[in-house]
Amino acid sequence: MIILGIESTAHTFGVAILDDNKVLSNEKDSYTTETGGMIPTKTADHHVEICDIVLKQALKKANKKINEVDLIAFSQGPGIGHCLRIGAIFARSLSLLLNKPLIGVNHCIAHLEIGRLEGAKNPILLYASGANTQIIAYDGGKYRIFGETLDTGVGNFLDSFGRDIGLGFPAGPGIDKLAEKGKKYIQLPYSVKGMDVSFAGMHTFLRNKVIGKQKVEDICYSVQETAFAMLLEVAERAMAHCDKKELVLGGGVACNTRLKEMSKIMCKERGAKCFIPENQYLVDNAAMIGLTGYLMYKAGNETPIKNSEIRSYERTDDVVVNWRN
């Protein structure tokens, strides 16, 4: 079966072609800025401008024709309404034109499913991206959120902090590079509340007490050490609580070299396996949407056009999971 996956929850517009669970192509174009953040309307304009180009690239790379596609999978939520709508219209149009079934996919669950393609059987997912920061695991017939951010996603926090120190969007790679040269650890607010984390207090503290008063390299180093320790404390506790021996990383922030390193150390210390998909599958990508759509369709799911509305606020644990036993 040939699956066409479409991703458009935020700054990335992606199209992937899969043959069952084998990824044939995984193309994308992401909205970026030199200074300032992501403006939803401009991001949606970007997606409109490049959607057909990305589709053509994906088909060419997969050596497939559009009429060979058997199933269209798209990110139905959660995400930015402006962006989700472009992907949904694109998916619905293709489904109607080609007369092929449509399947709406939860973006957060897709990050976990692509991790299982790496060999993880029953993992805890540390999903660290711009808008989303969640610890997810399959338990009792559902993907459940064991911990999450109480305010901003870790990536949005890093982007906002990055803007404060003059970096463009996304700021994560710049912070990662600067942090490598940091030597001095600056004590920052460490906010783990039960199984949840919070970044707003650290950001306020950075703005009021640290930025402009300390070396930027040391600040980036301290931000990474503190924020990632918070994430891994909660992830480790979820692993212990659920008795799971596998950790999967997902989300754009998981491309960070220090987060990868700290995750491997934590897993090694507790005798667990750490699965880190290659960067093209960590960031927002259409391959994970195509794969999850395929798994869902095989289990008998389909999304008729009338139910294909975007779901900006869909929660991971709202999704009925009938494709796992």
Closer of 27 and 225 to Fe ion (Cβ)? 27
Can you name the residues that pair with 275 across neighbouring β-strands? 248
Closer of 127 and 228 to Fe ion (Cβ)? 127
Give exposure, 299-311, as e/b (b: 16+ Cβ within 10 Å): eebebeeeebebb
Q: For Fe ion, which stretch binds (CB under 5 A), given 189-197, 199-207, 254-262, 276-284?
A: 276-284
Report the residue number whose CB is nearest to Fe ion: 129
The 134-163 contact track toward Fe ion, x by CB under 5 A, reads ------------------------------
Closest separation between CB of residue 75 and Fe ion, Å? Answer: 9
Reported as half-sphere exposure (CB side, CA atoms, 13 A), residue 73 has a value of 30
# of chain residues touching Fe ion (CB under 5 A) = 2
Closest separation between CB of residue 60 and Fe ion, Å? Answer: 25
Task: Give the C-alpha separation, 73 to 88, whole Å.
Answer: 10
Closer of 75 and 222 to Fe ion (Cβ)? 75
Q: Which of residues 106-135 bind Fe ion (CB under 5 A)?
A: 129
- Whether residue 275 contacts residue 123, with contact meaning beta carbons closer than 8 Å, is answered with yes
Query: What are the structure tokens assigned to 62, written together?
Result: 């997969």
Helix (H) or strand (E) holding 197: strand 196-197
Closer of 182 and 251 to Fe ion (Cβ)? 251
Closer of 128 and 272 to Fe ion (Cβ)? 128
314 binds Fe ion (CB under 5 A): no
Closer of 155 and 182 to Fe ion (Cβ)? 155
284 binds Fe ion (CB under 5 A): yes
Alpha-helix runs per DSSP H in the chain: 40-62, 81-98, 107-116, 154-164, 172-180, 200-205, 216-242, 257-269, 279-282, 286-298
Closest separation between CB of residue 247 and Fe ion, Å? Answer: 17
Task: Give the C-alpha separation, 133 to 113, whole Å.
Answer: 16
Residues that bind Fe ion (CB under 5 A): 129, 284
